[in-house]
Amino acid sequence: MGAATIIGCHAEDVRFPTSQFLDGSDAMNPDPDYSAAYLRLDTSDGGSGHGFVFTIGRGNDVQAAANALVAQHLIGRDLSLLDDLGGVWRELNGDSQLRWLGPEKGVMHMALGAVINALWDLKAKRARLPLWQVLARMSPEELVDLVDFRYLTDALTPERALELLREAEPGRAAREAELLASGYPAYTTTPGWLGYSDEKLVRLAREAVADGFCQIKLKVGASLDDDLRRLRLAREAVGPDIPIAIDANQHWDVAEAIAWVNRLAEVTEIAWIEEPTSPDDVLGHAAIRRGVSPTPVATGEHMMNRVLAKQFLQAEALDVLQIDASRVAGVNENIAMLLLAAEFGVPVCPHAGGVGLCEAVQHLAMFDFVALSGTMQGRMIEYVDHLHEHFVTPVVVTGGRYHAPTAPGAGAEMLATSIERYRHV
């Protein structure tokens, strides 16, 4: 019998009607329908790998088509390609005609991420390990080989990345044991959606504290008066000791952001202001960071690639980097961004929520703790309490902490019944 091969790919347009209850609503996105441009790769020996791109409704069909277009490159390929996912990333990213549509950003780049993440899911399942353990048990040399350092070497060379990973290597086993025993800190955005009533905000904020979350986050930016009122209500609900972050979802110009945030900071200390302006505006974020100090600036969920992450860090334009499991080109590029953050000494607090983002991004944060940063200090993963029931291995969060997953894979596999029910036609 010959070696197993990839024999098919299936792209699905899956949409959930979250706009009915304003779940996910914010100043820029008032009525999102959380969706997944979902991808499954099938192998000749009966295996499968799963990945997706998170969207908020219209255009999910375009993203699903892009996922399938990239995945076609893999049909008929031997599964030995799983031993060189750095090479596969560079090969797929190097398709010059598809790359032209970015380059390295937007729909095609996210499609590359869905394909790469599906391959990592397949690799982890075949190893019978969760993805975070697969990554955390790779050698520093193997991890460095995953990353495309083109455009990064003025800030981070492969040699320096190798040093960072080797420095963290001695404590891996102890940190893995700690993670399995105690989990990873979480904060929640569940109370803070902009479309929720004051009563629902207060109730959910109190429940978040009772559930052990170390921080909550409120959406802001549509109305200053509403933001002031909601921030006061949230502070009263959670008490003086629970940090409250705010998130403008790119709604402001630079000067407006500075004035608005400073006004809100008069109500209470703010844990961070997230995405205050265009996600591509490095210099604007740097100006906001200076203008709202000491309030920290966090951003990254819409950061299109590792090059933009490099520039934000070089320009001292953020205090907290927020990676996203499906915005850049998959696990490999997120490892590049984690390495950049480690080099610049900036904490990473991943973006989650959405459809499957909690399930996916926890693996990256946990890998970072075990094999790179070696710390959970000042770090937490976002948590939003919806849509987890649609996944084969849903995230487990109790006492305000993510439990380290032990099921093989990357957490991205969706239930067939949910795909069938919520397939967009």
Q: Indicate which residues carry an active-site annotation.
A: 219, 351
**Dihedral angle sign, alpha carbons of residues 169, 171, 173, 175:** negative
Q: What angle do CA 135, 141, 343 make, to 5 degrees?
A: 80
- Give the orientation angle of helix 282-292 with respect to helix 306-314, to 10 degrees: 40
Query: Which of 172, 163, 91, 123 is CA-nearest to residue 368?
Result: 172
Q: Give the count of beta carbons closer than 10 Å to the beta carbon of residue 302.
A: 16
Ranges of beta strands (E only) in 239-387 are 244-247, 273-274, 297-299, 320-321, 381-383
User: What is the rounded distance in angstroms from the CA atom of residue 10 to the CA atom of residue 204?
Assistant: 38
Contact 313/341 with Cβ under 8 angstroms?
A: yes
User: And the tokens for 269?
Assistant: 């200390």
Helices (H), 84-197: 85-93, 96-99, 106-127, 131-136, 140-145, 158-168, 172-182
Segment (H or E) for 218? strand 216-219
Q: Give the count of beta carbons closer than 10 Å to the beta carbon of residue 128.
A: 11
Provide the residue type at 328 as one letter.
V
User: What is the rounded distance in angstroms from the CA atom of residue 186 to the CA atom of residue 398?
Assistant: 9
Q: What angle do CA 331, 127, 129 make, to 5 degrees?
A: 70
User: What is the rounded distance in angstroms from the CA atom of residue 13 to the CA atom of residue 204?
Assistant: 31
Segment (H or E) for 207? helix 198-210
Residue 239 DSSP code: -
User: What is the rounded distance in angstroms from the CA atom of residue 199 to the CA atom of residue 229?
Assistant: 12
Query: Which of 281, 345, 287, 291 is CA-nearest to residue 313?
Result: 345
**Dihedral angle sign, alpha carbons of residues 409, 213, 223, 288:** negative
3-state secondary structure of 22: coil
